[in-house]
Amino acid sequence: MLVGTTLLAVTAASGVAGAAPDAGQVLAKPCGYSESGGRAWYNHCTSDGSRIQIRLDAVAGLDTNRCVDPGETVLGWAFEYRNAYYTGRLCPPR
C-alpha cells in the first residue's frame, strides 16, 4: 500500500497525470467539415493565409460554393448540411 501511495504522490507532484490541455486544444475543431453544438463548421487549416473555395452539400436545395478564410467558419445549422469539402480552387484575397 505504501508503494502505491508514494507513486501517486510523485505522479501528482510532477503534474504529468493531472496535466490538462490548454483552451486551444480543447476548443480546436478538426480540419475540414465538422458538426458541434448543433452547428456545421469548416476549419481551413493553413499557415499560408490562403482563402479557399468549399462546396456545401445541402440536405435540401442546391449545393453551393463558398469562400472561407483560414481558421474556423460556421456554415449554419448542422441539419442543413451533410458535408463540405475543398474544391481545389483558391478565392481572391480580401
**Banded pLDDT at 91 (limits 50, 70, 90):** very high
The answer to whether residue 94 sits within a structural domain is: yes
The answer to whether residue 39 sits within a structural domain is: yes
Structure-derived torsion over alpha carbons of residues 34, 88, 73, 45, reported in degrees to the nearest 10: 80
Contact 51, 68 (CB under 8 A): yes
The answer to whether residue 25 sits within a structural domain is: no
The answer to whether residue 84 sits within a structural domain is: yes
> How many domains in the chain?
1
pLDDT of residue 47: 95
Structure-derived torsion over alpha carbons of residues 25, 94, 39, 32, reported in degrees to the nearest 10: -60
pLDDT of residue 56: 98
The yes-or-no verdict on residue 74 having pLDDT over 70 is yes
Range of the domain at 72: 32-94
pLDDT of residue 17: 46
pLDDT of residue 10: 39
